[in-house]
Structure 1
Amino acid sequence: MIHVRFEGRSFDVNERQVNIAGNMSDRAIKEQLARHLEVNSDQLNTYVVDRRPSGDFIIRPEAVYG
């Protein structure tokens, strides 16, 4: 499962829906997700791909703490 936080929204998609595999690079994952979201891949440049021990992914903006 892939949990995505993008532009203030949170949603889940199945890896097969977006053609993402666990052995892909973070960049490749973000490019596939951008295609799925129909946005320019540059919009995900600063996003983090968090690979969970369960095999799930969380794709989210980079957290900035003040």
Structure 2
Amino acid sequence: MVHIRFEGRSVDVTETQLGINAGMNDVAVKEQVARHLDVNRDRLETYIIDRRPSGDLIIRPEAVYG
């Protein structure tokens, strides 16, 4: 499962829906997510890909504290 947080929205999709697999690097994953969201890839430039031990991915904006 891939959980995407983008501009106030949360979306859950499968890896198959995004066309990604476990061996893909962050750049390739962001490209597929951008296609899914129908946005330019550069809008995800500062986003973090959190790879969970379960195999799930969380794609989210970088957290800024303070």
TM-score of the aligned structures, taking structure 1 as reference length: 0.97
Structure 2 alignment gaps of length 5 or more: none
Q: Which residue is equivalent to 2:4?
A: 4
Q: 1:3-36 deviations in whole A, cap 9, x for unaligned?
A: 0000001110010001011110001100010011
- AA in 1 matched with 2:54: S
Distance 1:49 1:23 in 2: 13
Secondary structure of the 1:4 match is strand
Count of equivalent residues? 66
SS of the residue corresponding to residue 59 of structure 2 reads strand
Please show how residues 8-23 of structure 1 align to structure 2 within 5 Å. Answer: 8-23=8-23
> Does the residue aligned with 1:36 lie in a helix, a strand or coil?
helix
Map of 1:62 onto structure 2: 62
Identity %: 68
Partner Cα separation in structure 1 for residue 12 and residue 30 of structure 2: 15
Deviation at 1:62, TM superposition (A): 0.3
Q: What is residue 32 of structure 2 aligned with on the other side?
A: 32
What RMSD in Å do the two structures reach over aligned CA positions? 0.5
Letter of the structure 2 residue corresponding to residue 42 of structure 1: D
Could you tell me which runs of 5 or more consecutive residues in structure 1 were left unpaired when the two chains were aligned. none
